[in-house]
Amino acid sequence: MKQTILKSKLVKVETGNIMIAVLNEIKAMDLGINAGDRIRISMGKKHVNAIVDLSSVDILPDEIGLFEEVSKELGIKKNNVKLKIKQVPNPKSVEYIKKKVNGKTLSYDEIYEIVNDVVHNKLSDIEMSAFVTATYTEGLTFEETISLTKAVVNTGNTLHLKNKLIVDKHCLGGVAGNRTTMVVVPIIAAFGLVMPKTSSRSITSPAGTADTMEVLAEVEFSAEKLEKIVEKVGACIAFGGTVNLAAADDKLIKVRHPLHLDPIGLMLASIMAKKKAVGSTHVLIDIPIGEEAKVKTFDEAELLGTLFESVGEELNMKVDYIITDGSGPIGRGIGPLLEARDVLMVLQQHENRPLDLEKKSLELAGIILGFSDKVSRGKGEKIAKEILQSGKAWLKMKEIIKAQKGNPNINIEDLTPKAYKYEIKAKASGVVKKISNRSIAKVALAAGAPAVIDAGVYLEKIKGDKVKKGETLMSIYYKSKEKLKKCLDILKENPPYVIE
Q: Which residues are catalytic?
A: 262
- Cis check for the bond before 450: say yes or no (omega within 30 of 0): yes
Question: How many Cα atoms occupy the beta-carbon half-sphere of 242 within 13 Å?
Answer: 13
The DSSP result for 111-158, as a single string, is HHHHHHHHHTT-S-HHHHHHHHHHHHHT---HHHHHHHHHHHHHTSB-
What are the residue ranges of helices labelled H in 324-354? Answer: 336-347
- Rounded to whole angstroms, the Cα distance separating 139 from 292 reads 24
- Rounded to whole angstroms, the Cα distance separating 66 from 12 reads 8
With residue 444 as reference, give the H or E element that holds it: helix 437-447
What does the radius of gyration of the chain's CA atoms come to, in whole angstroms?
Answer: 25
- Rounded to whole angstroms, the Cα distance separating 484 from 330 reads 23
- Rounded to whole angstroms, the Cα distance separating 166 from 234 reads 10
- Rounded to whole angstroms, the Cα distance separating 320 from 285 reads 6
Residue 9 has φ and ψ, to the nearest 5°, of -135, 115
Q: Which residues contact 374 (CB under 8 A, 6 or more apart)?
A: none
Distance of CA 334 to the CA centre of its chain: 17
The DSSP result for 13-80, as a single string, is ---SS--EEEEEHHHHHHHT--TT-EEEEEETTEEEEEEEEEESSSS-TTEEEEEHHHHHHHT--SS-
Q: Coil, helix or strand for 367?
A: helix
The DSSP result for 61-128, as a single string, is TTEEEEEHHHHHHHT--SS--EEEEEEEPPPHHHHHHHHHHTTPPPPHHHHHHHHHHHHTT-S-HHHH
Length of the chain: 500
